[in-house]
Amino acid sequence: MFQPEFEKMNRNDLEALQLKRLIATLDRITDTNSFYAEKINNLTSRDIDCLEDIQKFPFMTKDDLRDGYPFKFACADPATFMRIHMSSGTTGTPVINPSTRSDLDQWGSIMARCYVAAGVSSADAVQITPSFGLFNGGFGFHYGAEKLGAMIVPIGAGRSLLQLKFMKDFNVAAFTAIASYPLRLMEVARKENIHFRETGLRVGIFGAEVWSDEMRARIEATMGIETFDIIGMTETGGVGLGIDCAEHNGIHVWEDDYLVEIIDPDTGIVVEDGREGEMVVTTLNREGLPLIRYRTRDVTSIISRDVCPCGRTSLRVARLKGRNDDMLKIKGVNFYPRQLESILMNKPELGSHYQIVLEKIKGRDTIAVMIETTAQVSSGLSDDISTEIYDLLGFHVDKLDMLPEGTIPRAPGKAVRVVDKR
């Protein structure tokens, strides 16, 4: 462990530290930002006697942060800001998160924890493939590897042939990426007859997109690596909010830095552990932009608050199912793209690139699925897939297209899985 004094803290001490840091965060808001104080109904640390009292406070949303552009919610002197990042999913008015030197140090520490949880050490070389820019990913992975003392290959996004060359030439042990990028590397490696098992790769740390267990299995089988699912967002301070460990039984959230609630997205009421809902995050150790009850829109559940076999004591949440606003509705049925992906990735004849197209034709909602193939497809495969989709999701696809590899456009950055033309 990178910080065992926090990662192995017993539950009572951990919750006491959370309460102490929550009170300090509320005091910071009250003392530095009257606009923010008013937004939380002028509630203060005096309204907090226990962690459950956080439920007295109103929720924050991305729209609130947009309305606060650029620094209306900031709780530090702008002269102390060392860096800003912008939410990668933002359209229109940006969502900006400014970081002080203390914030960057906190970010580096939790990212170093994530690396160690994934089995990366100071003796390893780490290749960072997310971009270095307003998107926070590249910098977060850099800060963590630097804090850990690992060798950094900061190549950034794209240049897949060079990525593969560096992995081999620099004996890279771990690489970091948005979750769909390994699929592109696998595609290029296959065309260039490059074999991952001839490299020193053993770890992949992927995030920024929801990806299924079936995609994980495909990446691990092809690359010969162990993969780890990392979560986080610009609003909460960047990538590194949590990661799964070698047990792969839920994502550890670093509770000394974040207070997590799972709520019913319709009522806003906190649900019991084990029940699926929307994750709400309160930051406990951030200066530039502390957040109180931020609605992430991520759908998950608390798996356990017990000590993990890995020795870490922080709570574990289920791998993210999707976002509330990612949910699709077709023919009266609600579903997440990840659910359909789980079916497609189980077929070895199919490639890793697919797209869901929703259209309204003659007043009727229709759904088409386009999937690339990498091998000869049996005549009955389309029927099998259509049946599985109906059995799992409860609707029939109107069209299922098997396409040659390379047909679906490769967008820079996150993969475009859904095209909604309705």
Q: Are residues 319 and 340 in the same domain?
A: no
pLDDT digits (tens, 9 = 90+) for 22-37: 999 999 999 999 999 9
Number of domains within the chain: 2
Q: Which of 324, 359, 379 is the last residue of a domain?
A: 324
H helical segments located in 118-212: 137-148, 160-169, 181-191
H helical segments located in 82-136: 101-117
Euclidean distance between CA atoms 255 and 275, whole angstroms: 19
Q: Which of 272, 295, 324 is the last residue of a domain?
A: 324
Q: Is the dihedral of CA 267, 270, 275, 280 positive or negative?
A: positive
Task: Kindly report the CATH number assigned to the domain that includes residue 272.
Answer: 3.40.50.12780
Q: Are residues 136 and 269 in the same domain?
A: yes
Burial class of residue 395, CB neighbours in 10 A (0-12, 13-18, 19+): middle
Q: Are residues 123 and 19 in the same domain?
A: yes
Q: Are residues 171 and 266 in the same domain?
A: yes
Q: Which of 324, 357, 392 is the last residue of a domain?
A: 324
The encoded tokens of residue 381 equal 């495969």
Q: Are residues 246 and 378 in the same domain?
A: no
Task: Kindly report the CATH number assigned to the domain that includes residue 367.
Answer: 3.30.300.30
HEC secondary structure over 213-246: HHHHHHHHHHHCCEEEEEEEEHHHCEEEEEEECC
User: DSSP secondary-structure letter at 80?
Assistant: G
Residue 371 contacts residue 344 (beta carbons within 8 Å): yes
Q: Are residues 295 and 400 in the same domain?
A: no
Euclidean distance between CA atoms 290 and 74, whole angstroms: 8
CA–chain centroid gap for 49, Å, is 32
Q: Are residues 231 and 85 in the same domain?
A: yes
pLDDT by residue, tens only, the chain of 422 residues: 999 999 999 999 999 999 999 999 999 999 999 999 999 999 999 999 999 999 999 999 999 999 999 999 999 999 999 999 998 554 578 999 999 999 999 999 999 999 999 999 999 999 999 999 998 999 999 999 999 999 999 999 999 999 999 999 999 999 999 999 999 999 999 999 999 999 999 999 999 999 999 999 999 999 999 999 999 999 999 999 999 999 999 999 999 999 999 999 999 999 999 999 999 999 999 999 999 999 999 999 999 999 999 999 999 999 999 888 788 989 889 898 989 999 999 888 888 889 999 999 988 999 999 999 877 788 789 989 999 998 889 999 999 999 998 899 887 778 889 999 98
- pLDDT of res. 352: 87
Q: Are residues 71 and 103 in the same domain?
A: yes
- pLDDT of res. 196: 96
Q: Are residues 284 and 398 in the same domain?
A: no
Range of the domain at 382: 327-420
Any idea how long the chain is?
422
